[in-house]
Amino acid sequence: MGVSAALYSGSKCYFFDSSRYVRVTRGETGPGTTDPAYPKTVSREWRWPDGFGNFGIDAAMYSGSKCYFFEHTRYIRVTRGDAGPGRVDPGYPKTIADGWRWPDGFGRFGIDAALYSGSKCYFFDGPRYIRVTRGSAEPWTVDPGYPKAIADGWRWPDGFGRFGIDAALYSGSKCYFFDGPRYIRVTRGDAGPGRVDPGYPKPVQREWRWPAESPLPPDQPRPHNRWPFGGGHVIGVSFKSLLPLATTAVPELIEMQYTQMRRLYVREAGVHVRFGSVEDLSGDPNLSHLATLDIGSCLPGLPTPEQRELFANRNNAFRREIVVYIVAALQGGSGNFLGCATHPDGQPGAAIIPAFIDPWLVAHEAGHVLGLGHDFTSSDRLMWQGVKTNPPPDILPNEVKTMQKSGLSHPA
């Protein structure tokens, strides 16, 4: 699957996969050598405050004598050398909103990756990124014209990173970018897209050769991390809207829901969510009556005739891909629903309404499709039965196991 964060650190670099990390000794290029006794557990070795990073981190960035680590909407600044945990600066964690003050809602729900680049640095949030001119202490200055679309600014090949990246790594004259199970190496200076080196993208796991088995200590607090480091699983998700894409907020909804799902799944469950496609079904007169969907009891294995009719529309979706249908209303025997994951056999999917109240609605419904049931005990959890989960939602160890065993996910 890949990694959720990478950190340049002089003669060392660090890669994070959920709640584990490895330290690697390397030069500008090549995989280098993983230091002995890695992977190790983030919480045990870094000892960040307030539970920061216990479930993994989203991004890390070198910045001279300081390093920054990002987890959901919080971040910490750490004073450290090439190796060792260093010391978290006083007053951290802070919220991204308070500390960085990025424009246009950028980073509102966190970021995916951060890249040191000399006098500049870059932050990535879903399909968008910003370039920032570095100063002494954050907030630095966002360069004019940003945010921009990754697809426009970086022009990576083969659709790489079009919907977001998981990690970025500065490495002298080279930079590395990670998108699920693939990565690219780029030759560049402080600014500009540079040039993707020939032969890339390449598969992460094969090239980096991190230790497959983790010698986790007995007191490992997150026993679900049993997949090979940097391995994990991949699932696919596509969106089909019965509301017109051109005249509604559905495109923003899709971007928000996909980005949050992707970030959460990779950070906490080692699952890379590959973006499939988006299709506007609103112009099909034969489907217009399904824009308000009768979902009956919304129980697993009991799709209504209307769900059968709608879910048969799987243009461009792979057999095991989860298709999310966006409709105006979901009405069942127990009232109106925000989402429903009941689907016909062999047509995995879910339906949601365009409610912006919960950024993890698709992640929740996809969790059902992958075999997860509701949680009735804590609103901290993704599968909490109610809306307004305490962010960031947690995925339990047994749930990770179920997700990775689902017939819809496959090893990276």
Partner 1 sequence: MPTSMSELRQQLSAIEPDESTYEGIGPSEVELLNQLLDDEETWLAARAVHALSRIDTHAAHEAIVAAVADPRMEVRISVAASADALPPNLSDEILSRLLHDSRIGVRKFAIKAVSQRNSETIRRGIREIATTDPDPGLRRIAAAKATAV
Applying CB under 8 A, which part among 66-74, 127-135, 144-152, 286-294 lies near partner 1?
Answer: 286-294
- The SS3 assignment for 289 reads helix
* Residues 6+ positions from 20 with CB-CB distance below 8 Å: 39, 40, 41, 42, 214, 216, 225, 229
Stretch that binds partner 1, among 115-123, 165-173, 285-293, 394-402 (CB under 8 A): 285-293
For 403, phi then psi, to 5°, come to -60, -45
The smaller minimum CB distance to partner 1, of residues 115 and 361, is found at 361
Query: Which of 83, 191, 245, 287 touches partner 1 by CB under 8 A?
Result: 287
Helix (H) or strand (E) holding 149: strand 148-149
User: Total residues contacting partner 1 (rule CB under 8 A)?
Assistant: 32
For residue 100, the one-letter residue type is W
By CB under 8 A, name the one of 80, 338, 344, 401 that touches partner 1.
Answer: 338
> Is 247 one of the binding residues for partner 1 (CB under 8 A)?
no
d(CA 42, CA 214): 13
Q: How far is the CB of 347 from partner 1 (least distance, A)?
A: 19
- Region from 118-126, 160-168, 225-233, 283-291 binding partner 1, contact rule CB under 8 A: 283-291
Instruction: Enter the tokens of residue 267.
Output: 């950070």
Neighbours of 104 (CB within 10 A): 12
Give min distance, CB of 382 to partner 1, in A.
11
- CA angle 375/379/385 to nearest 5° reads 40
- Using CB under 8 A as the binding rule, whether residue 81 contacts partner 1 is answered as no
Give whole-number Cα distances, 384 to 232, 323, 360, 368, in Å.
24, 22, 11, 11
Binding mask 361-380 for partner 1 (x = CB under 8 A): x--x---------x------
Q: For residues 77 and 368, which CB has a smaller minimum distance to partner 1 in the complex?
A: 368
Give the Cα separation of 188 and 120 in Å (integer). Answer: 12
**Span from 104-112, 140-148, 355-363, 392-400 in contact with partner 1 (CB under 8 A):** 355-363
Is 119 an interacting residue with respect to partner 1 (CB under 8 A)?
no
Q: Report the residue number, 206 or 388, with the smaller CB distance to partner 1.
A: 388
Q: Contacting partner 1 (CB under 8 A), which of 134, 226, 291, 320?
A: 291
Cα distances from 132 to residues 120, 121, 178, 276, 374, in angstroms, run 6, 5, 20, 31, 41
Pairing of strands 233-241, 271-280: parallel
Tell me whether residue 333 or residue 411 sits nearer to partner 1 (CB atom): 333
Q: Using CB under 8 A as the criterion, what x/- string covers residues 388-407 for binding partner 1?
A: x-------------------
Q: Check residue 283 for interaction with partner 1 (CB under 8 A).
A: no
* Contact between 253 and partner 1 per CB under 8 A: no
Q: Does 326 bind partner 1 (CB under 8 A)?
A: no
Cα atoms found within 13 Å of the Cα of residue 105, Cβ hemisphere only:
5
As measured in angstroms, the least distance from the Cβ of 397 to partner 1 is 22
Which uninterrupted H or E stretch holds 272?
Answer: strand 271-280
Residue of 78, 113, 237, 298 that binds partner 1 (CB under 8 A): 298
Amino acid 115 reads L
Q: Judged by CB under 8 A, does residue 337 bind partner 1?
A: yes
Residues 6+ apart with CB under 8 A from 84: none
Stretch of 146-154, 157-165, 177-185, 280-288 lying at the interface with partner 1 (CB under 8 A): 280-288
The Cα 377–Cα 381 span in angstroms is: 9
Q: Considering only CA atoms, which of 99, 138, 55, 139 is closest in space to residue 391?
A: 55
Q: Where along the sequence are the contacts to partner 1 (CB under 8 A)?
A: 285-292, 294, 298, 328-329, 331-332, 334-340, 353, 355, 357-358, 361, 364, 374, 385-388
